[in-house]
Amino acid sequence: MRVRITFTKQNALRYIGHLDLHQLWERTIRRADLPLAYSQGFHPQPKISLAAALPLGFSSRGEVLDMRLKENMSVEDISKRLSDNLPVDVKIINIEEVEENLPALQTQVLSASYNVQLTEPVERSELMRRVESLMMSESIIRERRGKQYDLRPLIEMLSVITEANGNVWLKMTLAAREGATGRPEEVLLTLDIEPETTLVERTRLIFIT
């Protein structure tokens, strides 16, 4: 049985990494007494896969995980057992059974959407000017791990959002394919905004349909 879970990662858990999150889910599944399936071989691994690594310090309300169970169970029972054992900063949004023969979850991610709150205010008109300039650029050459790459084609959408109270923040959708991943912090640096002065939340992962 293959189960897909959409969940949040908030507050203090923003500061645990990808491997720690994987271990958190493995421990939770064990405590929930679910019949988790393991790989074969000398070092069996739990059949748990997270769709895409979330950078340290980012919160999320749209993470996705697949797990395989050795036995069929009702989705409602699985959800209750997990919810009773998860830490308060992780909440299940949706849980469903999916087909066993679907491709690996990680290979199906196309892009990711983010909300970026600015903790140090920027004038709306100036921010819009910077965003417009970035979006009109044919290329934005950045460097990652000693190699140059073009950030521009990885930015699918970038908008300035203005609330009724005057609060201004950014919404962006970036490519998240293997070998073509846009990073919010790189976009912020291009906009002359220090990532440390922002709060980034991943709101959604977009998959191949």
Read off the pLDDT of residues 9-60 as tens digits, 9 standing for 90 and up: 999 999 999 999 999 999 999 999 999 999 988 889 999 999 999 999 999 9
Residues 161 and 176 in one domain: yes
The full length of the chain comes to: 209
Structural domain count of the chain: 2
- What is the rounded average pLDDT of the residues 145-150? 89
Global pTM value:
0.93
The answer to whether 60 touches 201, Cβ cutoff 8 Å, is: yes
Same domain, 113 and 149: yes
Query: Do 113 and 62 sit in the same domain of this protein?
Result: no
Q: Please tell me the predicted confidence (pLDDT) of residue 41.
A: 83
Q: Is 14 helix (H, G, I), strand (E, B) or coil?
A: helix
Q: Are 98 and 17 within one domain?
A: yes
Domain of 126 in residue numbering reads as 108-207
Q: Do 118 and 201 meet the contact criterion of CB atoms below 8 Å apart? A: no
Q: Tell me, what CATH number does 192's domain have?
A: 3.30.70
* Residues 114 and 193 placed together within one structural domain of the fold: yes
pLDDT in tens, 81-104: 999 999 999 999 999 999 999 999
State whether 199 and 117 are in the same domain. Answer: yes
